[in-house]
Amino acid sequence: MKTIFPILAILTGILLGYCAYQALIVAPTDQMQGDIYRIIYYHVPSAWTAFILFAVNLAGSVVYLIWRNPKADMHALVGAEMGVVFLSVNLTTGPIWARPVWGIWWTWDWRLTSTLVVWLIYVSYLMLRRFSSAGETPVMAGVVGIFGALCVPFVYFSIWFFRTQHPQPVIGGGGSMDPQMLHVLLLNWLAFLCFGALVYWSRYRYEFLRREVDEAQAMQALAETRGAR
């Protein structure tokens, strides 16, 4: 495992560099928006990746609530952490793209507002995990994670349910995209997924070892207390 990870990290770095070249140089310029549209190659894949990670959080939360499996709880925690990071990228790149195109940094339409609400829910999830020391914290966090995941479909379908300033989706939603642009978009999403998988792997391993150390320290402290008696 120690040998595989550096190799995969190097390959992922090469893929990210190649995708950046495709996004910034090779992909054709949009006739209406100009080069500012190229932020789509980071804005959209970051959202898609975040939603996949929130699905991981949902699965881990459900499994933990049913079977109290600690590994499922770790997957839920890591999925939420990384999902927040990727959704933060989405929420940051959106206003940067919107300012020259719409003339404003932000508008409280359904897509943007619902995305922000989901981000706030998962930030609350992480704050609960960080600052609560109660024994039932994973259970409470699991409920919050499930609630957040139930809000994710609303984010995706909001532009069909309501009239919003946000453009229609480029895949399966009535929108259209140049085939070469779509190819670069999907390629960048693949790069985001590979990068996310590597970070997920590393973060999960860290969390696993951290809990093992905490458990060992707790057992040692208990043994010392009993020995003192």
Read off the pLDDT of residues 90-137 as tens digits, 9 standing for 90 and up: 999 999 999 999 899 999 989 999 999 999 999 999 999 999 988 899
Q: Range of 14's domain?
A: 4-228
What's the domain count of the chain?
Answer: 1
197-212 confidence digits (pLDDT tens) = 999 999 999 999 999 9
Q: Is 103 helix (H, G, I), strand (E, B) or coil?
A: coil
For the chain, give the mean pLDDT.
92
115-152 CB burial, b ≥16 within 10 A, e <16? bbebbebbeebbebbeeeeeeeebeebbebbeebbeeb
> What token pair was written down for 42?
């980071």
CA distance 86 to 61: 20
Q: Is the dihedral of CA 156, 48, 35, 182 positive or negative?
A: negative
pLDDT of residue 216: 92
Using CA atoms of 66, 59, 148, 102 in order, give the dihedral in degrees to the nearest 10.
Answer: 180
Q: What is the CATH number of the domain that holds 70?
A: 1.20.120
Confidence of residue 48 (pLDDT cuts 50, 70, 90): very high
| Residue 30 three-state SS | strand
Q: What is the pTM of this model?
A: 0.95
pLDDT for res 1: 63
